[in-house]
Amino acid sequence: MLLSNMTDSAAAAGVPLSVNFSSPEDYFVFIFQILFATTTVLVAGTVVIGISATRALRVQNRFIFMLNTSICDTLVGFSVYYLGLFDVQEGYPSRNGTYNVLPSFLGVNILTFLFAQFDRYFAVCYPFVYSRFITRQVVIGLNIYCWVYNATHLLVRNMLPVSNAIQLYVFSIVFFQLVVLTKVVMTIKLYVVAKYQLEREPPGPERESKKESLKIIIFVVMSFLVLWCPSFVNIVVKFFTGGGLTFRSEATNLFAILARFNAVCTPSVYIWGSPALREAMVRTVWGRVCPRCRRRK
C-alpha cells in the first residue's frame, strides 16, 4: 500500500516511478536499483576521497586518470537514483529523459581509459621520453579534454533537429566502435610489450609501480569490454537493421545496467590492485568511519 501511494504521488508530481509494484519482480527491480546506486556511490566516492586527500597519489599520473574515472563513476551512481527509480527512457525517442546528460558520464570514462592506456604504454616502453614530456599538467589537460569533448558533443546534439541529432548519434556510435577496437589492440600490445620490457628492468619500486599500474589498466579495460559490448552491439543492430532488443525503461534495460556496472567494477579493481590506494582509503575514509579498520591495518 505504501509503495503504491509512492507511485501515485510520483506520477502526480510529474515523473512516475519505474515500476508499479504489481508483481514481485517490480519490488526486486526497485530494491536492486537502490542498492546498485548506493554501492556505486560508496565504492567510487571513497576512491575519489582517498586520492584527493593523499598528495603522494595526486602527483602520480596514473592516479589522476583513476581520479577522473572515479569521479565519473560516482556521478553514474547518483544518476541511477533517477534513471533506475523513475520511468525514464534516454535516447531517441526519449521519455522523461535528461537530454542524455546522465548517460554521457560513461562516455567520459571511455576516452579516459583510452588515454590511460597510451599513458601506460609510453611510461613502460619509452620511460625517458615519458618523464620529459608527459608531465602532470599534460595528464590533467587530457582528462579535462575528455569532459570538454563530451560536453561539446552533447550540446551540439541537443541543439540540432531530431533527424540530424540521430545522425550525429549514429556517427558517435561508429566513432566509439573505433575507440573500442583501439582499446583492444592497445590492451594486447600493452600486455605483450610490457611483459618483455619489465623483465629487463632491475627489481625496485619503479618496476613494481609499473607492474601494478599495468595490471590495473588491463583488468579495467577487459571488464569494460565485457560489460559494454552487449550494449554497443544492441545499439548498432537497432540503428542499422531495425532489430535489437527494446526495453520498457532504463530500470529494466539489462544492457544499460551492465554498462553502468562498470561504475562499480572499475573502482573495485583500483582498490584490489593498488595497496597504496587501499591504505589511503583506510586512513582518510574507512579508518574514521570504522576505527577498527585502522587498527587491523
pTM: 0.86
Output the CA torsion 75→80→83→85 (10° steps): -150
Tallying the residues shown for the chain, one arrives at 297
- pLDDT at position 72 is 94
The x, y and z cell numbers of residue 153, run together, are 558533443
Planar angle of CA 191, 194, 197, nearest 5 degrees: 150
Confidence of residue 204 (pLDDT cuts 50, 70, 90): low
Report the distance separating Cα 220 and Cα 30, nearest Å.
28
pLDDT at 201: 67
Per-residue pLDDT tens digits for 207-227: 667 677 777 877 888 888 888
pLDDT at residue 160 in the model: 85
**What is the rounded average pLDDT of the residues 190-198?**
71
Measured between alpha carbons, how far is 211 from 151 in angstroms, rounded to an integer? 34
d(CA 215, CA 62): 12
**Taking all residues of the chain, what is their mean pLDDT, rounded to a whole number?**
83
CB-based burial label for 295 (10 Å; 0-12, 13-18, 19+): exposed
CB atoms within 10 A of CB 129: 11
The confidence band for 93, taking pLDDT boundaries of 50, 70 and 90, is: confident
Q: Are residues 82 and 98 in contact, defined by beta-carbon separation less than 8 angstroms?
A: yes
Is pLDDT of 296 > 80? no
Q: How far apart are CA 202 and CA 198, in angstroms?
A: 8
Q: Is 55 exposed, middle or buried (0-12, 13-18, 19+ CB in 10 A)?
A: exposed
